[in-house]
Amino acid sequence: MSSSSQESYKSDLIKHAMSVDALKFGSFTLKSGRQSPYFFNAGLLCTGAILSSLATAYAATIANAIKSGAIPEFDVLFGPAYKGIPFASTAALVLYTQHGLSVGFAYDRKEAKDHGEGGKMVGVDVKGKKVLILDDVMTSGKAVRGAIDTVIQHGGEVVGVVQALDREEVGQDGVSSTVKELEAMLGEANFNNLLYPYFNSNMAAPKQSVSLTQDEDGFINPVAVTSPPEPEPTASSSTDVEKPAPSDLIASSFEVTVTLADQQVNPNSPLYSVKTFQELGLHPDLLKGIFAMGFDKPSKIQEKALPLLLADPPTNMIGQSQSGTGKTAAFVLTMLSRVDFNLNKPQAICLAPSRELARQIMSVITQMGKFTNVQTEYAIKDNLPRDVTRITAQIIVGTPGTMNDLMRRRVIDVTDVKVFVLDEADNMLDQDGLGDQTLRVKNFLPRGKPVQIILFSATFPDHVRAFANKFAPNANKIELQKEELSVDSIRQFYMDCKNEEHKYDILVSLYQLLTIGQSIIFCQHRHTADRISQRMTAEGHKVASLHGAKDAAERDAIIDRFREGREKVLITTNVIARGIDILQVNMVVNYDLPLMNERSKTADERPDIETYIHRIGRTGRFGRKGISINFVHDKKTWLQMEAIEKALGRKIMRIETNDLDEMEEVRLHLSISCRFSDIMTISIENEGSFEVDKFIRHRYDRLYISSFNISRNARRFLSSHLIGRLPSATDTK
């Protein structure tokens, strides 16, 4: 099921609801007590055609949630009486006919019968079975909680709840304490945004007269009116409503556009440090933290961005720059500068796509804020006890799902939030990624006060950029040209393997190179990462694997060992493709090329250019040298490699699989990492010159050239280019 098909089903659901007055606009009091501008009654979706469309949408949502791991496999679909009865039965039918999933269905009665078969349950016996509850709308959650109790009383295990519309009200609080897997075809934010094109298209006018207004966040609010709104006199009226509403934040004053060449070689480029942190007017305690981290001057990206980010009144920012150019330090410094350390309430929220990146961001906050009294907290899975009632930390960093859950349960009080940051914003806003959950978090933020929105990423696809402009209205922008996104300090190669098994053989033959410094191997699937790791470990090679299916403690331990250099080779999925900074990584292997279907869970096998750029960006950090190697093994992957070359506008060099000496020479000329009490990295530009990035001599006598994990010729080459004599293994002190 493609993402476009799913969006089509969602749009069709809204269209059908409008056609039969199942969706009404006005002022309605919900069970939660909140006033709502709309009312949704799925019971009116009662024709064969509409029910077929609704059942298809339910089935697609369930099938994709199972595929992505959001909900587990189950035995029975349960529909609470009365509207849940036709929904569960028809969804079970479509799951079988369109998705090949054979499940039973059951429902309850409002009152138990004392004649006939008796009891309250009808349909499949749920005793000892895994049950998925299906309903139309969750507001107070009373019907779903009743269904959960009924299933449990009859010996079933409730594994999840799927709804047509989640109003994101208090109803989920009581439900999520029993069932964690809560899925919805439409969330509140997604629902509002799908209404947008409906009212601004050439579709037939709805039966109700409505006007679409935008709140200060630039999103849709449907409001009932007494007469149809007058059309705009120009043909461009549909684009007029895209303009963000007036914001309390100061409007953007200018836009900065830079190229990669500018950043790396021009004295006026964003990477060329020309100003000092002292000129930014920072608090002395923050300056102490910056200098303690070893930062002498801001990069030009920081020099451009920080004056805009720190100005009062605050401005929104959309920033794009390659990995390793100082984006994290820029937004961390902004959060720390905005926080009132005397106020013990959340004031800055930062979202990241993975727990690994969230932990890395937090480490920067901790180091930079070490001389302040800043209080911080994670909002990541399994970090907090379920019964936590309040978080008072001033800066909270986490992933969208957990942050959304904490805000929905009012564990996080958002009334004093001043700054909202998205790192890897393109992924966070992409509807094929984390867009829905990110938008939910944003909609929790206070609307009566200005909140500075900061979006940073190395890439911004066009369709995400348009949404980003709406998400962060009136933003100052620092942007790169698309063709300049691939970092020149990374040498890119590909190896043409015979088949899948040959890929593994070549990877093993590369092991000696992978362990000079550190390396990351990217796979498409979790089971591939585990299989490769298990095989290599069994053959005596030391490797580690990391992916989203591992539990939180294991993931944290693995990434910490890799960051500390105790693991040299990490086999992983896209879970660390973005944002992770580990300077010793000087080789990335794309065992599987990144594909679009990894994002959208569809059959789209085009290469994912943005993810490719992020993957190879794990090496070549902060201007250092690095290598990426891509494996191709058939016509399909060959064409995908060609598409990547075309998108990047550069030729990717082929290396023969039987000529690993060539690979070793390239690797040596780029980066040789040696371990003694610290890491010494020597970047050799050519055979006559070299530059020393970091050279710590306090244990010089322990640096043995014979211990380098490289060939004899490479060892001789290194010796001839180092200043002075390196001690041999037989030297003693």
Q: How far apart are CA 72 and CA 3, in angstroms?
A: 20
**What are the sequence ranges of the domains in the chain?**
8-199, 256-480, 487-676
> Is the bond into 494 cis (omega within 30 degrees of 0)?
no
Active-site residue, from 16, 24, 67, 113: 113
Tell me if the bond preceding 313 is cis, omega within 30° of 0. yes
Residue given tokens 């720190």 in the structure block: 310
E strand intervals along 389-541: 395-398, 419-423, 452-457, 476-480, 490-496, 518-522
Pick the catalytic residue: 15, 99, 115, 694?
Answer: 115
* H, E, C per residue of 152-208: HHCCCEEEEEEEEEECCCCHHHHHHCCCCCEEEEEEHHHHHHHHHHHHCCCCCCCCC
Nearest alpha-carbon partner for 51 in 81, 80, 22, 72 = 22
Structure tokens belonging to residue 417: 């939030």
CB 568, CB 518: distance < 8 Å:
yes
Phi, psi angle pair for 555, to nearest 5°:
-60, -45
Cβ(640)–Cβ(598) under 8 Å? no
Helix residue spans in 572-702 (DSSP H): 597-600, 609-616, 635-648, 660-670
Sheet with 653-654, strands from edge to edge, namely 544-546, 569-572, 518-522, 585-590, 626-632, 490-496, 653-654
Q: What is the DSSP string of 254-270?
A: -EEEE-HHHHHH-TTST
Instruction: Note the pLDDT of residue 598.
Output: 66
Taking the CA atoms of 410, 411, 413 and 419 in sequence, report the sign of the dihedral they define: negative
Architecture (CATH level 2) of domain 8-199: 3-Layer(aba) Sandwich (3.40)
**Rg of the Cα atoms in the chain:** 28
Res 265: pLDDT: 42
CA distance 429 to 426: 5
Check residue 207 and give its pLDDT.
Answer: 37
| 115 a catalytic residue | yes
- 329: Cβ contacts below 8 Å, ≥ 6 apart: 290, 295, 302, 364, 368
pLDDT of residue 64: 81
pLDDT of residue 217: 33
Which class is 487-676 in CATH? alpha beta
DSSP state of 633: -
For residue 587, list its beta bridge partners: 519, 627
Asked whether the domain spanning 487-676 has the same topology as the one spanning 8-199, the reply is yes
Nearest alpha carbon to residue 539 among 571, 505, 568, 573: 505
Give the span between the Cα atoms of 657 and 295, in whole angstroms.
42
Give me the residues of the chain with pLDDT under 70, please: 1-11, 25-38, 112-119, 138-141, 166-275, 300, 323-324, 431-433, 480-488, 598-603, 622-623, 659-733
CATH of domain 256-480: 3.40.50.300
- Give me the numbers of helices (H) and strands (E) for the chain, helices first please: 25, 28
Closest-CA residue to 479 (of 317, 253, 258)? 258
Question: How many residues are present in the chain?
Answer: 733
The encoded tokens of residue 405 equal 């859950």
- 496 vs 474: CA distance, rounded Å: 48
Bridge partners, residue 350, by sequence: 397, 421
**What pairs with residue 312 in β-bridges?**
none
Query: Which residues sit opposite 397 in a β-bridge?
Result: 350, 378
Residues 314/393, Cβ–Cβ less than 8 Å? no
Amino acid at 240: D
What global pTM score does this model have?
Answer: 0.52
Instruction: Report the 10 Å Cβ neighbour count for 326.
Output: 21
End-to-end CA distance of the chain: 67
- What's the sign of the alpha-carbon dihedral 284, 285, 290, 294? positive
Identify the pLDDT of residue 723.
34
Backbone angles phi, psi at 108, to 5 degrees: -115, 165
What is the rounded distance in angstroms from the CA atom of residue 38 to the CA atom of residue 199? 15
Measured CA to CA in angstroms, residue 140 lies from 190, 453, 476, 510, 662 at distances of: 20, 31, 41, 58, 66
Q: What count of Cα atoms within 13 Å lies in the side-chain half-sphere of residue 182?
A: 29
The answer to whether 545 and 572 are in contact (CB under 8 A) is yes
From CA 351, how far away is CA 371, in angstroms rounded?
Answer: 24
Between CA 501 and CA 3 the distance in angstroms is: 32
Q: Is 113 a catalytic residue?
A: yes
